[in-house]
Protein backbone atom coordinates (compact mmCIF):
# COMPACT_ATOMS: atom_id res chain seq x y z
CA UNK A 1 0.00 0.00 0.00
CA UNK A 2 2.83 2.40 0.90
CA UNK A 3 4.56 1.51 -2.36
CA UNK A 4 1.41 2.41 -4.35
CA UNK A 5 1.12 5.77 -2.54
CA UNK A 6 4.80 6.53 -3.21
CA UNK A 7 4.44 5.68 -6.90
CA UNK A 8 1.30 7.80 -7.15
CA UNK A 9 3.07 10.77 -5.60
CA UNK A 10 6.06 10.27 -7.88
CA UNK A 11 3.81 10.14 -10.95
CA UNK A 12 1.97 13.29 -9.84
CA UNK A 13 5.29 15.12 -9.44
CA UNK A 14 6.34 14.02 -12.91
CA UNK A 15 3.11 15.34 -14.40
CA UNK A 16 3.62 18.71 -12.69
CA UNK A 17 7.19 18.86 -14.07
CA UNK A 18 6.12 18.10 -17.65
CA UNK A 19 3.31 20.62 -17.36
CA UNK A 20 5.97 23.20 -16.59
CA UNK A 21 7.29 22.82 -20.15
CA UNK A 22 4.91 25.50 -21.34
CA UNK A 23 6.98 28.07 -19.48
CA UNK A 24 10.11 27.22 -21.43
CA UNK A 25 12.11 26.90 -18.18
CA UNK A 26 12.89 23.21 -18.32
CA UNK A 27 15.13 21.27 -20.67
CA UNK A 28 12.63 18.85 -22.12
CA UNK A 29 11.73 18.46 -25.78
CA UNK A 30 8.42 20.35 -25.42
CA UNK A 31 10.17 23.38 -23.95
CA UNK A 32 12.66 23.53 -26.80
CA UNK A 33 9.88 24.07 -29.35
CA UNK A 34 9.73 27.76 -28.45
CA UNK A 35 12.44 29.71 -26.72
CA UNK A 36 12.98 33.18 -25.26
CA UNK A 37 16.35 34.48 -24.11
CA UNK A 38 17.21 37.87 -22.58
CA UNK A 39 20.76 39.23 -22.45
CA UNK A 40 22.58 42.55 -22.28
CA UNK A 41 23.17 44.54 -25.48
CA UNK A 42 25.14 47.36 -23.87
CA UNK A 43 24.27 50.86 -22.72
CA UNK A 44 23.13 54.02 -24.47
CA UNK A 45 25.44 57.07 -24.47
CA UNK A 46 23.49 58.42 -21.47
CA UNK A 47 23.97 55.18 -19.51
CA UNK A 48 20.64 53.37 -19.98
CA UNK A 49 20.90 49.57 -20.09
CA UNK A 50 19.64 47.91 -23.27
CA UNK A 51 18.57 44.27 -23.48
CA UNK A 52 18.57 41.90 -26.44
CA UNK A 53 15.64 39.47 -26.53
CA UNK A 54 15.72 36.40 -28.78
CA UNK A 55 12.49 34.67 -29.83
CA UNK A 56 12.95 31.30 -31.54
CA UNK A 57 10.89 28.35 -32.70
CA UNK A 58 11.77 24.77 -33.67
CA UNK A 59 11.57 25.48 -37.41
CA UNK A 60 14.54 27.80 -37.51
CA UNK A 61 12.79 31.17 -37.26
CA UNK A 62 14.71 33.44 -34.90
CA UNK A 63 13.91 37.09 -34.16
CA UNK A 64 16.27 39.27 -32.13
CA UNK A 65 14.81 42.50 -30.72
CA UNK A 66 16.45 45.15 -28.54
CA UNK A 67 14.71 47.35 -26.01
CA UNK A 68 16.27 50.45 -27.61
CA UNK A 69 13.61 51.53 -30.09
CA UNK A 70 12.04 48.06 -30.00
CA UNK A 71 14.34 47.39 -32.96
CA UNK A 72 14.33 44.07 -34.80
CA UNK A 73 18.10 43.69 -35.17
CA UNK A 74 18.01 40.25 -36.78
CA UNK A 75 15.44 37.91 -38.25
CA UNK A 76 16.66 34.55 -39.48
CA UNK A 77 14.56 32.27 -41.67
CA UNK A 78 15.43 29.15 -43.69
CA UNK A 79 15.63 29.14 -47.50
CA UNK A 80 14.29 26.32 -49.68
CA UNK A 81 17.32 24.18 -48.72
CA UNK A 82 16.90 24.84 -45.02
CA UNK A 83 19.84 27.25 -44.82
CA UNK A 84 19.26 30.06 -42.34
CA UNK A 85 19.74 33.65 -43.44
CA UNK A 86 19.29 37.02 -41.74
CA UNK A 87 16.76 38.94 -43.85
CA UNK A 88 16.74 42.40 -42.17
CA UNK A 89 19.30 45.19 -42.42
CA UNK A 90 20.94 46.52 -39.27
CA UNK A 91 24.10 46.69 -37.17
CA UNK A 92 26.14 44.28 -35.08
CA UNK A 93 26.28 46.53 -32.01
CA UNK A 94 24.18 49.11 -30.16
CA UNK A 95 26.51 51.91 -31.26
CA UNK A 96 25.23 51.72 -34.83
CA UNK A 97 21.64 52.20 -33.68
CA UNK A 98 22.37 55.13 -31.35
CA UNK A 99 23.94 57.06 -34.24
CA UNK A 100 22.01 58.44 -37.19
CA UNK A 101 20.57 55.69 -39.41
CA UNK A 102 17.45 55.24 -41.55
CA UNK A 103 15.24 53.76 -38.78
CA UNK A 104 16.45 50.17 -39.31
CA UNK A 105 13.93 47.77 -37.73
CA UNK A 106 12.49 50.28 -35.27
CA UNK A 107 9.11 51.02 -33.74
CA UNK A 108 8.02 54.34 -35.25
CA UNK A 109 5.93 56.83 -33.29
CA UNK A 110 4.12 58.81 -32.29
CA UNK A 111 3.43 59.29 -35.97
CA UNK A 112 4.91 57.02 -38.60
CA UNK A 113 5.61 58.75 -41.92
CA UNK A 114 5.17 62.48 -42.61
CA UNK A 115 3.03 65.31 -41.30
CA UNK A 116 3.05 68.28 -43.65
CA UNK A 117 4.73 71.48 -42.42
CA UNK A 118 5.17 69.85 -38.99
CA UNK A 119 1.81 70.95 -37.65
CA UNK A 120 -1.83 69.93 -37.30
CA UNK A 121 -4.98 71.25 -35.66
CA UNK A 122 -7.05 69.12 -33.28
CA UNK A 123 -10.19 70.33 -31.52
CA UNK A 124 -9.37 73.89 -32.53
CA UNK A 125 -5.82 73.84 -31.13
CA UNK A 126 -2.78 73.97 -33.41
CA UNK A 127 0.13 71.73 -32.44
CA UNK A 128 3.61 72.40 -33.80
CA UNK A 129 6.06 69.55 -34.23
CA UNK A 130 9.72 69.32 -35.21
CA UNK A 131 10.42 69.75 -38.93
CA UNK A 132 13.11 67.08 -39.26
CA UNK A 133 12.48 66.23 -42.92
CA UNK A 134 13.05 69.52 -44.70
CA UNK A 135 9.79 71.44 -44.09
CA UNK A 136 7.94 68.40 -42.75
CA UNK A 137 7.73 66.22 -39.65
CA UNK A 138 8.92 62.61 -40.09
CA UNK A 139 8.61 59.46 -37.96
CA UNK A 140 7.87 61.12 -34.62
CA UNK A 141 10.43 63.91 -34.65
CA UNK A 142 13.91 64.47 -33.27
CA UNK A 143 13.60 61.76 -30.62
CA UNK A 144 10.82 59.46 -31.69
CA UNK A 145 9.93 56.04 -30.32
CA UNK A 146 12.86 54.58 -32.29
CA UNK A 147 15.32 56.38 -29.98
CA UNK A 148 13.92 55.58 -26.52
CA UNK A 149 14.47 52.55 -24.26
CA UNK A 150 11.32 50.46 -23.91
CA UNK A 151 10.50 48.45 -20.77
CA UNK A 152 10.12 44.68 -20.89
CA UNK A 153 6.71 43.75 -19.49
CA UNK A 154 6.81 40.10 -20.59
CA UNK A 155 9.39 37.79 -22.14
CA UNK A 156 8.38 34.15 -22.03
CA UNK A 157 7.64 31.08 -24.10
CA UNK A 158 4.70 28.70 -24.20
CA UNK A 159 4.43 25.49 -26.19
CA UNK A 160 3.20 27.27 -29.32
CA UNK A 161 4.55 30.84 -29.11
CA UNK A 162 7.32 33.07 -27.80
CA UNK A 163 6.30 36.52 -26.58
CA UNK A 164 8.02 39.84 -25.94
CA UNK A 165 5.86 42.67 -24.60
CA UNK A 166 7.37 46.16 -24.45
CA UNK A 167 5.91 49.34 -22.94
CA UNK A 168 6.67 53.05 -23.11
CA UNK A 169 5.02 56.14 -21.62
CA UNK A 170 5.21 59.11 -23.96
CA UNK A 171 4.59 62.16 -21.83
CA UNK A 172 2.34 65.09 -22.69
CA UNK A 173 4.06 67.54 -25.09
CA UNK A 174 6.82 65.06 -25.98
CA UNK A 175 7.99 66.10 -29.45
CA UNK A 176 5.03 68.51 -29.45
CA UNK A 177 2.26 65.89 -29.26
CA UNK A 178 -0.60 66.29 -26.76
CA UNK A 179 -1.49 63.77 -24.06
CA UNK A 180 0.24 61.24 -21.84
CA UNK A 181 0.29 58.20 -24.12
CA UNK A 182 0.73 54.69 -22.70
CA UNK A 183 1.99 52.32 -25.42
CA UNK A 184 2.42 48.56 -25.51
CA UNK A 185 3.97 46.71 -28.45
CA UNK A 186 3.90 42.91 -28.35
CA UNK A 187 6.04 40.74 -30.60
CA UNK A 188 4.82 37.14 -30.84
CA UNK A 189 6.65 34.41 -32.75
CA UNK A 190 4.42 31.42 -33.38
CA UNK A 191 5.06 27.77 -34.10
CA UNK A 192 3.45 28.48 -37.48
CA UNK A 193 6.35 30.75 -38.53
CA UNK A 194 4.46 33.99 -37.95
CA UNK A 195 5.84 37.12 -36.34
CA UNK A 196 2.92 39.14 -34.97
CA UNK A 197 3.22 42.79 -33.98
CA UNK A 198 0.37 44.06 -31.82
CA UNK A 199 0.22 47.78 -31.00
CA UNK A 200 -1.92 49.12 -28.13
CA UNK A 201 -2.21 52.60 -26.63
CA UNK A 202 -4.36 54.82 -24.44
CA UNK A 203 -4.21 58.57 -23.81
CA UNK A 204 -5.48 61.09 -21.25
CA UNK A 205 -5.90 63.81 -23.88
CA UNK A 206 -6.96 63.80 -27.53
CA UNK A 207 -3.93 63.13 -29.72
CA UNK A 208 -2.91 61.65 -33.08
CA UNK A 209 -1.20 58.29 -33.38
CA UNK A 210 0.20 56.12 -36.18
CA UNK A 211 2.55 53.33 -35.04
CA UNK A 212 4.46 51.03 -37.35
CA UNK A 213 7.63 48.97 -37.73
CA UNK A 214 10.39 50.10 -40.08
CA UNK A 215 12.24 46.89 -40.93
CA UNK A 216 14.31 46.83 -44.12
CA UNK A 217 13.84 43.46 -45.83
CA UNK A 218 15.99 41.48 -48.24
CA UNK A 219 14.78 37.90 -48.52
CA UNK A 220 18.01 36.80 -50.21
CA UNK A 221 19.87 37.86 -47.06
CA UNK A 222 20.90 41.23 -45.66
CA UNK A 223 23.66 42.90 -47.64
CA UNK A 224 23.51 40.32 -50.43
CA UNK A 225 22.57 42.71 -53.25
CA UNK A 226 19.59 44.67 -54.50
CA UNK A 227 15.95 43.63 -54.15
CA UNK A 228 14.86 44.51 -57.70
CA UNK A 229 14.33 40.84 -58.57
CA UNK A 230 11.98 40.18 -55.65
CA UNK A 231 8.41 39.45 -56.76
CA UNK A 232 5.82 41.64 -55.02
CA UNK A 233 2.03 41.53 -54.82
CA UNK A 234 0.17 44.33 -53.05
CA UNK A 235 -3.51 43.97 -52.22
CA UNK A 236 -4.13 47.60 -53.14
CA UNK A 237 -6.21 49.04 -55.97
CA UNK A 238 -5.26 52.62 -55.03
CA UNK A 239 -2.41 54.79 -53.83
CA UNK A 240 -2.00 58.33 -52.53
CA UNK A 241 -0.02 60.57 -54.94
CA UNK A 242 2.46 62.93 -53.29
CA UNK A 243 3.96 66.38 -53.88
CA UNK A 244 7.68 67.17 -54.12
CA UNK A 245 7.97 66.87 -50.31
CA UNK A 246 6.38 63.39 -50.35
CA UNK A 247 3.22 64.73 -48.70
CA UNK A 248 -0.02 63.23 -50.08
CA UNK A 249 -2.07 65.59 -52.21
CA UNK A 250 -5.26 64.16 -50.70
CA UNK A 251 -6.22 62.24 -53.84
CA UNK A 252 -6.63 58.46 -53.93
CA UNK A 253 -5.65 57.32 -57.41
CA UNK A 254 -6.27 54.00 -59.16
CA UNK A 255 -3.08 51.98 -59.64
CA UNK A 256 -4.32 50.50 -62.92
CA UNK A 257 -2.15 51.52 -65.85
CA UNK A 258 0.60 52.94 -63.62
CA UNK A 259 3.94 51.62 -62.24
CA UNK A 260 2.09 51.38 -58.90
CA UNK A 261 0.05 48.37 -60.00
CA UNK A 262 1.21 45.35 -58.00
CA UNK A 263 -2.20 43.72 -57.80
CA UNK A 264 -0.56 40.80 -59.60
CA UNK A 265 2.98 39.67 -58.69
CA UNK A 266 5.69 41.67 -60.47
CA UNK A 267 9.41 42.13 -60.01
CA UNK A 268 10.04 45.20 -57.90
CA UNK A 269 12.52 46.49 -60.47
CA UNK A 270 10.37 45.86 -63.53
CA UNK A 271 9.06 49.45 -63.70
CA UNK A 272 11.02 51.24 -60.99
CA UNK A 273 12.71 53.56 -63.52
CA UNK A 274 9.26 54.92 -64.38
CA UNK A 275 8.89 56.27 -60.83
CA UNK A 276 10.09 59.86 -60.91
CA UNK A 277 11.40 60.07 -57.33
CA UNK A 278 14.14 57.48 -57.82
CA UNK A 279 12.17 54.50 -56.60
CA UNK A 280 9.04 53.62 -54.68
CA UNK A 281 8.20 55.61 -51.55
CA UNK A 282 4.40 55.66 -51.64
CA UNK A 283 1.42 54.85 -49.46
CA UNK A 284 -0.85 52.20 -50.94
CA UNK A 285 -4.53 52.00 -50.01
CA UNK A 286 -5.27 48.42 -49.02
CA UNK A 287 -8.43 46.67 -50.14
CA UNK A 288 -10.70 45.82 -47.20
CA UNK A 289 -12.00 47.56 -44.11
CA UNK A 290 -9.86 49.52 -41.65
CA UNK A 291 -9.61 47.59 -38.40
CA UNK A 292 -10.27 44.20 -40.04
CA UNK A 293 -7.48 41.70 -40.66
CA UNK A 294 -6.75 41.43 -44.39
CA UNK A 295 -4.03 40.51 -46.85
CA UNK A 296 -1.52 43.30 -47.35
CA UNK A 297 1.33 41.88 -49.42
CA UNK A 298 3.12 38.80 -50.68
CA UNK A 299 6.83 38.85 -51.48
CA UNK A 300 9.02 36.08 -52.88
CA UNK A 301 12.72 35.91 -53.74
CA UNK A 302 13.47 33.45 -56.58
CA UNK A 303 17.08 32.57 -55.71
CA UNK A 304 16.55 31.57 -52.07
CA UNK A 305 12.90 30.59 -52.41
CA UNK A 306 12.05 32.61 -49.31
CA UNK A 307 8.56 34.05 -49.09
CA UNK A 308 6.87 36.54 -46.80
CA UNK A 309 3.14 37.23 -46.50
CA UNK A 310 1.86 40.25 -44.57
CA UNK A 311 -1.62 40.68 -43.11
CA UNK A 312 -2.79 43.72 -41.19
CA UNK A 313 -5.71 45.63 -39.70
CA UNK A 314 -4.26 48.91 -41.02
CA UNK A 315 -5.76 50.76 -44.02
CA UNK A 316 -2.45 51.36 -45.80
CA UNK A 317 1.13 50.33 -46.35
CA UNK A 318 4.18 52.42 -47.25
CA UNK A 319 6.23 50.65 -49.91
CA UNK A 320 9.80 51.97 -49.93
CA UNK A 321 12.73 50.61 -51.96
CA UNK A 322 15.72 51.93 -50.02
CA UNK A 323 16.18 54.86 -52.38
CA UNK A 324 18.33 56.79 -49.90
CA UNK A 325 20.74 53.97 -49.10
CA UNK A 326 23.98 55.09 -50.76
CA UNK A 327 26.85 52.91 -49.56
CA UNK A 328 27.71 55.18 -46.64
CA UNK A 329 26.50 52.68 -44.03
CA UNK A 330 28.30 49.47 -43.13
CA UNK A 331 25.94 47.00 -41.50
CA UNK A 332 26.08 43.52 -40.02
CA UNK A 333 29.03 41.30 -40.91
CA UNK A 334 30.70 44.24 -42.67
CA UNK A 335 28.05 44.43 -45.39
CA UNK A 336 27.83 47.79 -47.16
CA UNK A 337 24.27 48.89 -47.92
CA UNK A 338 23.80 50.34 -51.39
CA UNK A 339 20.73 51.84 -53.09
CA UNK A 340 17.81 49.39 -53.38
CA UNK A 341 19.50 46.82 -51.11
CA UNK A 342 16.25 46.45 -49.16
CA UNK A 343 12.56 47.26 -49.24
CA UNK A 344 10.16 48.36 -46.51
CA UNK A 345 6.47 47.55 -46.18
CA UNK A 346 5.33 49.77 -43.31
CA UNK A 347 1.70 49.02 -42.45
CA UNK A 348 0.10 52.28 -41.41
CA UNK A 349 -2.57 54.92 -41.55
CA UNK A 350 -1.97 57.36 -44.40
CA UNK A 351 0.74 60.05 -44.26
CA UNK A 352 -0.43 63.54 -43.24
CA UNK A 353 -3.81 62.18 -42.10
CA UNK A 354 -4.09 64.81 -39.30
CA UNK A 355 -4.33 67.40 -42.10
CA UNK A 356 -6.44 65.31 -44.48
CA UNK A 357 -9.96 64.83 -43.05
CA UNK A 358 -10.91 62.66 -46.04
CA UNK A 359 -8.38 60.02 -44.91
CA UNK A 360 -9.14 57.44 -42.17
CA UNK A 361 -8.85 59.17 -38.80
CA UNK A 362 -5.74 58.89 -36.64
CA UNK A 363 -7.27 60.68 -33.64
CA UNK A 364 -7.17 58.82 -30.31
CA UNK A 365 -9.27 60.19 -27.44
CA UNK A 366 -9.45 59.42 -23.70
CA UNK A 367 -11.47 56.26 -23.08
CA UNK A 368 -10.58 54.83 -26.49
CA UNK A 369 -8.00 52.12 -27.17
CA UNK A 370 -5.58 52.07 -30.07
CA UNK A 371 -5.48 48.44 -31.25
CA UNK A 372 -3.55 47.50 -34.39
CA UNK A 373 -2.06 44.16 -35.52
CA UNK A 374 0.30 43.22 -38.34
CA UNK A 375 1.38 39.63 -39.05
CA UNK A 376 4.40 38.51 -41.09
CA UNK A 377 4.36 34.83 -42.14
CA UNK A 378 7.54 33.23 -43.49
CA UNK A 379 7.98 30.22 -45.75
CA UNK A 380 10.20 28.91 -48.57
CA UNK A 381 9.54 27.02 -51.76
- Print the domain residue range for 239: 33-380
Same domain assignment for residues 14 and 137: no
Rounded Cα distance between 250 and 19, Å, is 56
Other C-beta atoms closer than 10 Å to the C-beta of 143 total: 12
Is the same domain home to 12 and 141? no
- Measure CA 143 to chain center: 18
pTM over 0.85: yes
Give the per-residue pLDDT at 78: 98
Give the C-alpha separation, 88 to 63, whole Å. 10
- Supply the pLDDT for residue 157: 97
pLDDT tops 70 at residue 53:
yes
Contact 330, 322 (CB under 8 A): no
State percent of the chain over pLDDT 70.
92
Q: What pLDDT does residue 1 have?
A: 40
Model confidence at 33, in pLDDT bands (50, 70, 90)?
confident
Cβ count within 10 A of residue 15: 10
Co-location of 74 and 7 in the same domain: no
Helices (H), the chain: 2-19, 94-98
pLDDT (tens digit, 9 = 90+) per residue, 1-13? 433 333 333 333 3
How many residues are given for the chain? 381
214 classed as catalytic: yes
Catalytic-role residue among 101, 139, 214, 230: 214
At 204-214, the pLDDT tens digits run 999 999 999 99
Report how many domains make up the chain.
2
Considering the candidates 101, 174, 346, 349, report the single residue annotated as catalytic: 346
Across the range 352-370, mean pLDDT stands at 98
Q: What angle do CA 54, 57, 63 make, to 5 degrees?
A: 35
Model confidence at 360, pLDDT cuts 50, 70, 90, reads very high
Residue 199 burial (CB < 10 Å; 0-12/13-18/19+)? buried
Is residue 14 located within the same domain as residue 88? no
The CA angle 356-362-366, to the nearest 5 degrees, is 135
Q: Do you find a cis peptide bond into 110, omega within 30 degrees of 0?
A: yes
Q: What is the pLDDT of residue 7?
A: 35
pLDDT of 166 reads 99
pLDDT band (50, 70, 90) for residue 276: confident
End-to-end CA gap in the chain: 59
In this structure, the answer to whether residues 230 and 255 fall within a common structural domain is: yes
HSE-CB of 77 using CA atoms within 13 angstroms: 29
Q: Are 292 and 361 in the same domain?
A: yes
pLDDT at 28: 42
Is the domain of 302 the same as that of 320? yes
For residue 298, give the nearest of 379, 214, 189 by alpha carbon. 379
CATH number at residue 322: 2.70.98.10
- At residue 381, the pLDDT reads 96
Q: CA gyration radius for the chain? A: 22
302 pLDDT above the threshold of 80 = yes
Q: How confident is the model at residue 49 (pLDDT cuts 50, 70, 90)?
A: very high
Average pLDDT value over all residues in the chain: 92
Contact between 202 and 369 under an 8 Å Cβ cutoff? The reply is: yes
Residues 101 and 238 in one domain: yes
Say yes or no: 364 and 344 in one domain: yes
Amino acid sequence: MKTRIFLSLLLAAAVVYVGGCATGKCGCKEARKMNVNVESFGKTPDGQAVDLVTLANSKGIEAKIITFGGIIVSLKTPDRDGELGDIVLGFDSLEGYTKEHPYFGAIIGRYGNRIGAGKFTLDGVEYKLATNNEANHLHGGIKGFDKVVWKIEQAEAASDEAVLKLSYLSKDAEEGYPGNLKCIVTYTLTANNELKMHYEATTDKATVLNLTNHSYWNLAGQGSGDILGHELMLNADGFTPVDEGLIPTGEIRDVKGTPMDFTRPKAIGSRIKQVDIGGYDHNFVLNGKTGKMKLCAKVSEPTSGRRMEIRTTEPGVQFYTGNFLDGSLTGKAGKVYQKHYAFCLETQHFPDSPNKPQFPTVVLRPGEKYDITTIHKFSAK
